[in-house]
A and B are shown apart, each in its own frame.
Chain A
Amino acid sequence: MQTLQLAPTVRAPYVSFDPDTGLLQLTGKSIPENAYELYRPLLGWMAAYVDNPAPRTELTFRLSYFNSSSSEYILDLMRMLEKIYLQGAEVRILWFYDHDDEDMEQIGEDFKSMLRVPIIMMMEEEKEN
């Protein structure tokens, strides 16, 4: 299985999913008009990954903006990992948000309340964006 790496654009985040280390990350903006198009390869990759995951999996979200249609696919990614977590795999999700971004914090809390996989809220000090 190969590492999935996607360059960021003005509408899409940097993506790096490494199947060997189990370190998966999305960084930047996720505001595509067509979220399915953006997330389809990620969901496909994840579907294959969960069949044979690394000993530890850590999915990191470090997003500055995302639109509501992305949130559905983010939830899907999390759910796929939740499934292997409930089967005994070591999985955690890190949700980064700026200290003054109450909306991003709230959405992290939303996901947390909807899922049983551990979601760790990571507040970041300083700076904007």
Chain B
Amino acid sequence: MASFDKMRLTPVTPSWFTAGEEVVLSYSGHFSGDTITALLQLADCKMAELDVRPPVRRKLFNIMVESLQNIYHHAKPQATTPKPSLFVGRGKAHFYVATGNCMARTEATALMRRLDEVNAMSYEDLTRRYRAQLASKPTSPPDPSRGAGVGLLDMARRSGHKIEYNFRPIDDQHGFFSLQVAVSE
């Protein structure tokens, strides 16, 4: 897997990958429900072509769903540069799903704190927390950000790796937040 700092997840620099890595899928732009569906279908086709084992394929698909839906629910449409992105790559022994979008600094700080917490947990801790969080959710009214906590725990558990992240400030208020989740082949 490429070190995270080498991965420049922005649409203006189409050079995220290093030698020995393969681009499975790369997209940047608006993420509508239909775009997400199309990207998921495309990723599924590519993974079938690459003969990825079904368990790995399923993990990647699920992680893509969670990360893309995070962008869908949280990306601020008014903060347009750089645009939200998705990158699926294949390193020597891993696949990884990287997503990025603009975010308020305060929001990013909270998210990074949550990610540090998640990354410090063992599989058993993740499972305990996942169950506790799921059990404590009230049903309605719906809150689009509600799934976020459970979503991170779910991704971490499926991945089996630490979730890498990066925050690049754009101005005083905003920055570009990217998240990278790996799956062993």
Contact = CB atoms under 8 A, between A and B. Distances in A.
Interface of A: 10-11, 31, 33-36, 43, 64-65, 67-69, 71-73, 75-76, 98, 100-104, 106, 110, 113-114, 128-129
Interface of B: 33, 36-37, 40-41, 54-55, 57-59, 61-62, 65-66, 69, 72-73, 127, 130-131, 134-135, 137, 139-140, 142, 144, 146-147, 150-151, 154, 157-158
B157 A34 contact: no
B37 A11 contact: yes
Contacts of B135: 75, 114
Nearest to B31: A33
Given A33-B72, A68-B154, A102-B55, A10 B41 contact: yes
Given A36-B142, A100-B54, A110-B131, A72 B147 contact: yes
Contact of B65 (A65, A73, A114): A65
9 contacts: A10-B37, A67-B147, A68-B151, A71-B154, A72-B139, A72-B150, A106-B127, A110-B130, A114-B134
